[in-house]
A and B are shown apart, each in its own frame.
Chain A
């Protein structure tokens, strides 16, 4: 793994050290496993290193509490399908087995969840947001998502148009803590 792509800490450790507010710890493990198939760790960091599950948990708790139920049902259905198809828990399946279950969700053919494809689309959307969001929202830890694709974050501006050149700037993240952000967003009544 190239240096710039090093994650700030191992994903397991992050799961251990932080409490979840919207998801149960069992659900968090399922969500993390699924997100890790959507944007896997390869020779570069993926959803696990970016802390996508923390982005999702915070987003559900603080912004979209109505979607907690979707995750609750979705996780239960992933688990059920894993057991029915492969006789084991989703988190214990081999990656290609997890992919098969997730594909069935994507296509809407998974059993026991009417809007399985909708849940997959939501999970994918949140996973990608968690990869590339400002770290203050809980994901993109160590700016791994931005470093991966070559986005230098919130530069004040660019002196150079960088025509056909790699942008060799250290990425910059927003410094406003989440609570302040929430206050800004928080004209929700």
Chain B
């Protein structure tokens, strides 16, 4: 059995990468267990749609570790490979789009500001079955950590452009990426309609960058974006797009305090009879069971895996009969996901060339996000950012076709030939509120390649989301019309993305799994991090907030000498 580590990290993605850097810098001995590999440059830097998009289902994680998915309790599940967890060093950051909004102050207080206040009632929202809770912390608690994330990763943005964003203690570390055709059209249309367009904060460098002091000096210098356009679902061939694979992990390895073990799949968190966590058990690359003892265990996986591990680690003999942190049956509850609304437009007098530049480069508005607009009688609360998207090689765009247009044959070919370069989309990330019928648990019969029960994901949208999506599609279509598009149409995604929840954060152990430091209630040396701790998910991507929470928790852990006696 290996020597006891100070900390064992389960998963080396966004969370694990940042923690590895933060904790090793403090002199802690860290073991990093990652179930995937450290991907070679020749793999992730390929600008090849068949490899990255069409066949991503071939990647180890997706094939070996599917989820079991159903919409409702009682339905049969379908095994579905999922690429979002991206089981490799760097995790989903290797293939994210880069959109890097902070949450706004109101996003942390949905219950108080929109339900208890009576706003939901005035809106006529139907919130039956929902279980909305405030975050135990607010924007001000996270602000210094958002800043740290932005300076270590190198986030681009335009100071002061978004009137709905929270106050900033420091400017963005560098200016926004350059303007694109779709941004110019979107910006002008939004201004004409009286909205407030801003250039999207982006985890993609606009110029050569190395974090200044006092930020981690082990993070290597990286070049600016070359606008090749292969971002979403691709790795970055110049490393302009932030990933811990080439930011924080090298810094941690340089410290000499990180023992990084890839292709090691953790299947159980071990506990002593008194309920304290003692370490983890895992399969090594040869499939042999190994144990790693540690003073502190931190789960930094995708929410499916965080939940699954907590549930798998139940032990009849201890206080954890129903799983770790699950005294009140809350592990796996209240999961959320964006199901994006897309509005597309085609142009006869504009050439957009949407394949140039990152998909996330462009602009957004928050005029229809959060509580930034009057919801009276709209029938729902909350909203979404609306912004430009529509990058993509032809393989990614051949299915974006107006309603009524045939999807094959000579007319279809004529359409695609003319409009591939003359189209773009608006995408929206509509907030989904936590609902009692949306949860992850262990599949009773189906297992993965290691014989471990699959995470069973039960999820569908309910009344608040359905009404919101219809409203947003209408507003999006008005904006797209105002850009001068010749034809405008909207589409609703049936596929959840940017999943959150399952190990909710809160002050009350009877209504949450972890506290505001991501520490499991009642188990001082077990932490769970990532979007799984979100009580509500906001109408923004989770990455910046996941990172800020991680930095904040790392500060706390480093201050707790008692954990490392």
Contact = CB atoms under 8 A, between A and B. Distances in A.
Interface of A: 37-40, 42, 44, 46, 63, 99, 102, 106, 124, 127-129, 131-134, 137, 145-146, 148-152, 154-158, 161-167, 174, 176, 181, 184-185, 187-188
Contacts of A40: 409-410, 413
A149 B43 CA distance: 27
Interface stretch (B54-62, B123-131, B459-467, B493-501): B54-62
Interface of B: 42-43, 46-51, 54-55, 58-60, 63, 178-181, 184, 225-229, 237-238, 350-351, 353, 355-357, 393-395, 398, 407-410, 412-414, 416-417, 420-421
A174 B55 contact: no
B417 A149 contact: yes
Given A38-B408, A156-B228, A132 B393 contact: yes
A49 B409 CA distance: 15
Contacts of A166: 351, 421
Contacts of A127: 408
A137 B227 contact: no
Contacts of A149: 394, 416-417, 420-421
A146 B355 CA distance: 12
Query: Which 7 A-B pairs give the minimum distances between C-beta atoms?
Result: A157-B226, A149-B420, A132-B394, A38-B408, A163-B181, A150-B421, A154-B47
Given A128-B395, A150-B420, A150-B421, A42 B413 contact: yes
Contacts of A176: 46
Contacts of B58: 63, 185, 187-188
Nearest to A123: B408
A18 to B, nearest CB: 19
Contacts of A132: 49, 393-395, 398
B41 to A, nearest CB: 11
B394 A151 contact: yes
B356 A162 contact: yes
9 contacts: A63-B55, A129-B50, A129-B54, A132-B395, A149-B421, A151-B355, A152-B355, A167-B356, A185-B51
A77 B277 CA distance: 60
A161 B356 contact: yes
A33 to B, nearest CB: 14
A162 B181 contact: yes
A124 B408 CA distance: 8
Given A99-B409, A124-B407, A157 B228 contact: yes
Given A37-B409, A63-B58, A133 B228 contact: no
A131 B43 CA distance: 23
Given A40-B410, A157-B228, A185-B51, A151 B393 contact: yes
Residue from B228, B229, B355 having most chain A Cβ neighbours under 10 A: B355
A127 B47 CA distance: 20
Contact of A131 (B179, B356, B394): B394
A164 B355 contact: no
Contacts of A128: 395, 398
Given A132-B395, A154-B47, A174-B48, 7 more contacts: A37-B408, A131-B398, A149-B421, A150-B353, A158-B229, A181-B48, A184-B51
Nearest to B412: A39
A69 B440 CA distance: 35
A152 B19 CA distance: 40
Given A149-B394, A150-B420, A151-B393, A156 B226 contact: yes
Contact of B413 (A39, A63, A129): A39
A155 B548 CA distance: 35
A149 B397 CA distance: 11
Given A42-B413, A133-B395, A185-B58, A151 B420 contact: yes
Nearest to A133: B50
A148 B417 contact: yes
Contact of B408 (A39, A145, A185): A39
Contacts of A164: 181, 350-351
Contacts of B50: 129, 133-134, 137
A5 B231 CA distance: 28
Given A39-B413, A132-B394, A154-B48, A167 B353 contact: yes
Contact of B417 (A44, A63, A99): A44
B179 A161 contact: yes
A185 B356 contact: no
A132 B227 CA distance: 20
A4 B534 CA distance: 53
Contacts of B238: 157
A158 B229 CA distance: 9
A153 B379 CA distance: 46
A158 B42 contact: no
A150 B418 CA distance: 9
Contacts of B351: 162-166
A135 to B, nearest CB: 11
Contacts of A181: 48, 51
B60 A187 contact: yes
